[in-house]
Each structure stands twice: as C-alpha cells, then as structure tokens.
Chains A and B, each alone.
Chain A
C-alpha cells in the first residue's frame, strides 16, 4: 500500500509542490511531539527534497491520504488516517514514531532504549542512576574549568546523598561566578552569534594614514552576552536591551544607557544607535555591520537572528512559517521563484524590519549601526508602493524592536538557549529518552525569571547530566 502510494506520488511529483505550511500544520496536530517541543521540525518529516519535490514514505502516504483535497483544510484528518500505519516498515506505527521522535518515513531512523545494567556492581560509578560524584566532577570541569582536587573529592565523598546534591549546586554557584565560566566558556558560546573578525574590530592592526580601520567593536557584543547570561539576569534582554555594558576603571562591568561615541581615530567602535531603536544583540554596531553590510533588504541579518537566537535555520528548512502573499520580491532578486519562495515567504517579512538600519555606507562610514527612517525608501525602489508588513513567528509587528521582543518571549528563544547549554554540558543533542527532561528545563525558564544560571542548576540535576 505504501509502495503504491509512493509510486503514485512519484508520478504526480512533477505536478505538485512542497507545502511550506506543512510543518506548522504538523505541530498543530501533534503539539506535544518531540519535533514540536524540544526540537525544530523540518520539511524532512515528509520530504526527501522540496525542490524538486519528492516525498519519503510517510510523506507519500500522507499525500495519498489527502487524495487531492485542499492541503491546509485536510492535513489534520489525513495525518490521523495514517497514524496506525507503519509507512517505513520498521516495526513501529507512524504514531509511535511521532511520539518517540524518530522519523516515520525513514526506516533507519530508530531509537534503541539503553540497556539495563548487568554484572557486578561497578566500584567506581553508580551505573544506571544519578551519580553525584560523577556529576560533581563534571560541574567542576565544565563550569570552573578544572577537576576537583583530591581533598575536594574526598570531602565530597564523605557527605551523605542529600548533602552531596547540595554541594553540587554550591559548586555550580561558585563556578558560575568564576573567570573561567564568564570570560572563557560563556565567551566561547558567543562566537557563532557574534562572529568576530579581528581585521574589522578594535584590535585591528590595519592602519591607513595612522587611522585605525575599526569599523565596529565586537567586545560590546561579548560583554552584553556575558552580562545577561550571568548573575541571574533576564536572558530575554539579549534581544531587548537598550543599554550597553562597558568597563569601569577597575575593569568591572558598567551599564551605559545613552549613545556611545566612536573612539577617536576609528570609523567605528562606539554604539551610535539611539536607545529607542535598540534590540540587544541584534542592533549592536558590530552585528549590523557584519550582517547587513551593503544589503538593501538585510536577509542575512534576519536569517542570522532567526538561527542564532531562535535555533531556526531556514537553510535547513527549520522554522518555515510562510506569510500569505510573501515573498513580495521587493528588491527584484527573484526570490519569488518557486524554489526560493518556500523559505523567503518566512525570511523576507523578518528582513524588512532590519531595512531601517545601516550596515556599511561607503560614503558615510560613520552611519554604521544607525537607524535611518528614509533608508528603505532610498535603497528599495518598490518599498513605498508595497508597504511590506513585518512578521515573525506568525505575529505582525511594527518595528525591529517589537520583532525582537516577540522573539525574546517565544518558546523558540527559550528552547534555543537551553539547547545551547544542554549541548555544552551533556556533550550532545537531547536524545529521545532525554527530551522529557530537556523540555522540563526550557519550559521552566519563565518561572525562573529567564535566568541562565537557574537553567544550569536545573540542568545538572538531570539524568542526562548525572547518569554515567
């Protein structure tokens, strides 16, 4: 039956298109599925390829169940009708695979439960259960940067069970204030988000007539990141902060609210953007310089923000949430072609909000990172006529500041932050038997005041962290 359906699909493939609304519809039907909670669903749930379109066996079965009916109106019933089938023939029904988090259209996508421990008691580790000594060592190494000493390990071993757990959290609290965590580990987690380039930053050794070619200073970005992910601060301000973090004479952090001028003998290096147009990490001078550069419609800046702060990589077809009528192809780049429109119907409505911010204007280098109300009209011929709407995560917004606020309050933001720390601490993506506790961590962020420190305290209590 599956083969027949798939064969039928293959024949029909040239006449059909992938449906960008599919992932959203899937998660409306299976809101508690791992793909819709701790992970990001992609088109691969049903497709082998979206351009040219081709389905896997589950997608083929779904296509058959739709039987030509309108996609958006009938997707839920079509999904329900094939729940008990085993589309990929791997022994689990589609429903079982969806609940487990494996792919119902890929027979090689499987999850084997971990084996029950066998043999004599292990003298070194508590196999199959949370091992406080193991967790303690991991805490010290990951967050303090070095193993516990012999004396520390011995003192820990002499504690009873409850006191050991308390000691783990005491150690973690101490480590989270350490130079290693703040200046080394947290900074390293920021590299993919900030993407520093020494030749353009404050440490550049490129000089022209004694003029230092600093176009922007990414140390502002690093400091804001470190500040907000330490000290129990609200991590949402990564996307909403309208201040910056400088250093006082003693080298301590200092909050700066107003405009910060560029240092002398540099094209950039300050924060010239008026505070009311700021949106945390998204509007630092460095981020706008690097990700907008010369673009009229800053799609790279939008895609980067979507990927790094929501964990949704459109190039991997994650987070596809098409906006009706988009893409407008407002700058005549051809993004309304079928192969492009699947992602640009999500990306372009995000990008428009960045169009008011200057990347690099070679005639006016001091404009980098500034808000210019006339910029879209000047740079995009079709802007005024089209009057594009800004949309993020299915919500219409009026500005980048509002867009960033919507992002910061989203489940995706919480999940992405928790995911970054989970992978750092545990060493891999959450596996099917770890997803429940991973979901418990990130969904607790609102109750924890969006504190990264409190998230980490929850993380070290998990089986994923503490079971050898």
Chain B
C-alpha cells in the first residue's frame, strides 16, 4: 500500500526530490532566462554510509541500531550495504578506500535505509510517546492538507531532515501523499512513513 501510494505520487515527489525550492527551476532542462543561477561548480558530495546513518539518527532521534538492520543480521549502513553506500571495508575484504562512485545498487540501498528509518520511527511513535510525529494520531486517518496537523508534521520533517521550513508549494506537493488512488485518506501511519521517505530521499537530503 505504501509503495503503491508512493508510486502514484512519484512525479510530484520527484519534483521535490530535485531539491529545487523555486518551483522546479534549476533542474536539468534549460528553461531559458527565467531560470535561477545554477551552481558554478556542481560538485556536490553524497552522504556516504556514516554520514547517512548519523544524519538519520539525529533527524529522527533513532539509536544506532534503529536506523536499518538487515534481517536482524547487521547494520545496513555499517555491515551489509556499506560498500554500496560509499564506505570502505579494510578488515573483511581489504577495501582500504571507498569506491569513488555510486554503484547500480546505491539508489536502491539508499531508499531501503531511509524507508527503514522512517518505518522504525513511525512504529516507535505509534507504540509509545511520540517524538517526531507528535501531531498525528497514528492509529487514525492521515490529516487533510488543510489540517494543522498536516502542516505541523511536514514542517517537523523538513526541520529535522533538511534543517529548514517547507515552501508553500512543497506542502502542496506532499498533500498528494495523504490520500490514496480514490482520493480517500491513507492511514496516518502510512502518511508519516511516506512523507518522511519522500523528504529523506530528496537530493537536498542526500547531497551536500
């Protein structure tokens, strides 16, 4: 259900993920003179395994083993998918330096890690005293986009993950994640996970 809703919302979510805060300008297409200035250097770095894990821990207030654990066998970011996420492994495989570029599996693994962290946070908030999704009743329906709880939740996620407030059009875009194909509200838990995932997999979060 989560993935279906997410796929339906893929296009607007991708617009968000482009990291643009001006309604789409600054993307890959040359849209002419109205475009804002582009980065001269364009040499962003990606958050590799340690930074990704630590930023998710900080933003979602998760313990080290609460971000992503692969089938209970080990940390996704440190032991299982660390190479894909740009880490080294000198002791086990003699990889003394991280690979310089991303692998084919890197985007999938990034999504897997962020999704896990978001689900873990939502579950913890549903099962106990909420920390991130404090404005949601996680056992009920998602709030409508004009509901204060909706804005408060998105704002909290933007502040935690991107260290800024959302722009109005970003709130509008994420409104699509509050309803299903038929326009009916999804569960608040799904909404929490979806919005967390969309923001946490944006290029603005993953690159610096």
Contact = CB atoms under 8 A, between A and B. Distances in A.
Whether both chains belong to one complex is answered with: yes
B163 A195 contact: no
B97 interface: yes
B3 interface: no
Given A119-B33, A198-B92, A125 B54 contact: no
Interface string A143-158: 0011111101110000
Contact of B40 (A184, A191, A468): A468
A373 interface: no
A138 to B, nearest CB: 6
A147 B163 contact: yes
Given A147-B58, A198-B92, A427 B43 contact: yes
Interface in B171-205: none
B51 A141 contact: yes
A291 to B, nearest CB: 14
B145 interface: no
A122 B98 CA distance: 33
A111 B159 CA distance: 40
A149 B58 contact: yes
A365 to B, nearest CB: 22
Contacts of B58: 146-147, 149
A16 B35 CA distance: 58
B163 A148 contact: yes
A123 interface: yes
B22 interface: yes
A121 B163 contact: no
Nearest to A114: B40
Contacts of B98: 188
Contacts of B92: 198
Nearest to A192: B96
A181 to B, nearest CB: 11
B41 interface: yes
Interface string B44-61: 110100110011011100
A380 interface: no
Contacts of A13: none
A197 B92 CA distance: 8
Given A150-B159, A196-B90, A428-B43, A127 B38 contact: yes
A120 interface: yes
A347 B92 CA distance: 31
Interface in A421-460: 426-428
B36 interface: yes
Contact of A123 (B21, B96, B208): B21
B121 interface: no
A118 interface: yes
A137 B40 CA distance: 18
Contacts of B35: 119-120
Contacts of A194: 90
Contacts of A393: none
Contact of B37 (A127, A180, A196, A427): A127
A247 to B, nearest CB: 19
A184 B43 contact: no
Nearest to B35: A119
Given A123-B21, A180-B50, A149 B37 contact: no
Contacts of A426: 43
A117 B40 CA distance: 7
A427 B51 contact: no
Contacts of B51: 141, 145-146
A76 B92 CA distance: 51
A122 B163 contact: no
Nearest to B165: A150
B187 to A, nearest CB: 27
A91 interface: no
B43 A122 contact: no
A467 B90 CA distance: 33
B163 A153 contact: yes
A128 B55 CA distance: 28
A147 B206 CA distance: 11
Contacts of A251: none
Contacts of A114: 40-41
A148 B39 CA distance: 21
A147 B91 contact: no
B146 interface: no
A319 to B, nearest CB: 20
Interface string B116-138: 00000000000000000000000
Contacts of B33: 118-119
A325 interface: no
B96 A121 contact: no
Nearest to A199: B91
Given A141-B51, A427-B45, A117 B38 contact: yes
A124 interface: yes
B164 interface: yes
A115 interface: yes
Interface in A175-217: 180, 184-185, 188, 191-192, 194-198, 203
Interface string B13-44: 00000000110001000000111111111011
| Most central of A125, A138, A184, A194 by chain B CB within 10 Å | A125
Contacts of B208: 137-138, 141, 147
Given A146-B55, A146-B58, A180-B50, A467 B88 contact: no
B81 interface: no
Given A147-B59, A180-B54, A196-B90, 6 more contacts: A119-B33, A120-B35, A121-B37, A128-B40, A198-B91, A428-B43
7 contacts: A117-B37, A120-B34, A122-B38, A127-B39, A127-B40, A138-B45, A149-B58
Interface of B: 21-22, 26, 33-41, 43-45, 47, 50-51, 54-55, 57-59, 88, 90-92, 94, 96-98, 159-160, 163-164, 208
